[in-house]
């Protein structure tokens, strides 16, 4: 009897060690990609793979619209619009906007259903790069871990640059450059304030708005963002000072 008990305890210990080991290996895999993408543009993301599979289920020849452009080649207006729409405190927080999360929880409780998530740009990027759209607790936990990796290894400009380049903006449309070409037949660098505000307004539901571009809700949100954009704080490149040290300037609307 004691021998069987000891064997069970030993197996339990090895089982726990195996689970912990597998967990650490998965985190190391995520960490490796986060480190790699600090210096290189992602060729594809988890969300891109999921959307491409969905498109090819009905159109085997389908391809995604995706083209990477540097941070400097994206309109400042679009940067301000995305900050105003998705994460007003992006340059201030360290990955999590606790006030925003609390407000989202209160809103969900009031509505009696999930209507707001309170996710920051960093959290959204973690999800888009590696995870699925589901809202399970394990997925949210993994999202939080990856968010911490991003905030630790990357600066705010890099997080925002990758975010602008990989988020979904329509049916098979990913990134600011593809979105600008898809909706306005121009480069992301040439977007004006109104165009930028409309692109930012459709981010929460891009595939719907891609086919309902004149929806009343979209127009209303675009109008609201146009008023908020001037106060948006966006991360700007690190610049050399006269003494040779580096400082970061935060851009506020013109």
R_g of the chain computed on alpha carbons: 21
Q: Is 169 helix (H, G, I), strand (E, B) or coil?
A: strand
> What is the chain's percent helix, strand, coil content, to nearest 5?
60, 10, 30
| 28 and 54 both lie in a single domain | no
pLDDT of residue 102 exceeding 80, the answer is no
| 70 and 7 both lie in a single domain | no
DSSP for residue 79 = H
pLDDT of residue 254 exceeding 50, the answer is no
pLDDT of residue 1 exceeding 60, the answer is yes
What CATH number is associated with residue 174? Answer: 1.10.3810.10
pLDDT of residue 237 exceeding 90, the answer is no
Q: Is 173 helix (H, G, I), strand (E, B) or coil?
A: strand
Residue 159: inside a domain: yes
Domain count, the chain: 2
| 9 and 80 both lie in a single domain | no
The DSSP-derived string for 185-250 is SS-GGG--HHHHHHHHHTTTSHHHHHH-TT-HHHHHHHHHHHHHGGG-EEEEEEEE-TTS-EEEEE
Q: pLDDT exceeding 90 applies to what percent of the chain? A: 73
pLDDT at 111: 62
User: pLDDT band at residue 5, thresholds of 50, 70 and 90?
Assistant: confident
Q: What is the pLDDT of residues 159-188, one digit of tens each?
A: 999 999 999 999 999 999 999 999 999 999
C-alpha to C-alpha distance for 40 and 34, rounded to whole angstroms: 10
- Residue from 197, 166, 204 nearest 64 by CA: 166
pLDDT of residue 105 exceeding 90, the answer is no
C-alpha to C-alpha distance for 229 and 92, rounded to whole angstroms: 17
| 9 and 108 both lie in a single domain | no
Residue 39: inside a domain: no
> Is 248 or 139 the better-scoring residue by pLDDT?
139
| 56 and 25 both lie in a single domain | no
Q: What is the pLDDT of residues 205-219, one digit of tens each?
A: 999 999 999 998 999
| 11 and 110 both lie in a single domain | no
Do 184 and 68 meet the contact criterion of CB atoms below 8 Å apart?
Answer: no
- Residue from 87, 84, 76 nearest 232 by CA: 84
| 80 and 205 both lie in a single domain | yes
What range does the domain containing 11 cover? 1-33
pLDDT of residue 246 exceeding 50, the answer is no
pLDDT at 108: 62
Residue 231: inside a domain: yes
pLDDT at 118: 73
| 110 and 216 both lie in a single domain | yes
| 89 and 134 both lie in a single domain | yes
CB count in 10 Å sphere of residue 110: 9
Residue 168: inside a domain: yes
| 17 and 51 both lie in a single domain | no
Q: What's the pTM?
A: 0.86
């Amino acid at each position: 009897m004691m021998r069987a008990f000891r064997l069970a305890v030993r197996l339990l210990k090895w089982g726990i060690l195996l689970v912990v080991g597998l967990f650490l290996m998965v985190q190391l895999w995520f960490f490796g990609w986060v480190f790699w993408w600090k210096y290189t543009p992602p060729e594809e993301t988890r969300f891109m793979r999921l959307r491409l599979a969905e498109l090819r289920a009905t159109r085997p020849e389908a391809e995604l619209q995706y083209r990477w452009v540097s941070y400097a080649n994206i309109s400042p207006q679009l940067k301000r619009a995305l900050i105003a729409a998705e994460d007003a405190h992006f340059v201030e927080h360290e990955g999590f906007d606790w006030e925003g999360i609390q407000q989202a929880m209160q809103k969900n409780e009031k509505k009696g259903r999930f209507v707001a998530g309170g996710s920051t740009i960093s959290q959204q990027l973690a999800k888009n790069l590696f995870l699925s759209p589901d809202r399970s607790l394990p997925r949210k936990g993994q999202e939080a871990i990856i968010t911490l990796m991003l905030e630790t290894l990357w600066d705010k400009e890099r997080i925002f640059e990758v975010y602008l380049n990989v988020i979904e903006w329509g049916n098979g449309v990913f990134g600011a450059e593809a979105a600008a070409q898809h909706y306005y037949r121009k480069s992301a660098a040439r977007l004006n304030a109104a165009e930028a505000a409309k692109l930012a307004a459709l981010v929460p539901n891009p595939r719907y708005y891609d086919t309902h571009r004149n929806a009343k809700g979209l127009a209303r949100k675009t109008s609201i963002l146009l008023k908020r954009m001037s106060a948006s704080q966006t991360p700007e490149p690190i610049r050399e000072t006269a003494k040779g040290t580096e400082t970061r300037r935060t851009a506020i609307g013109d």
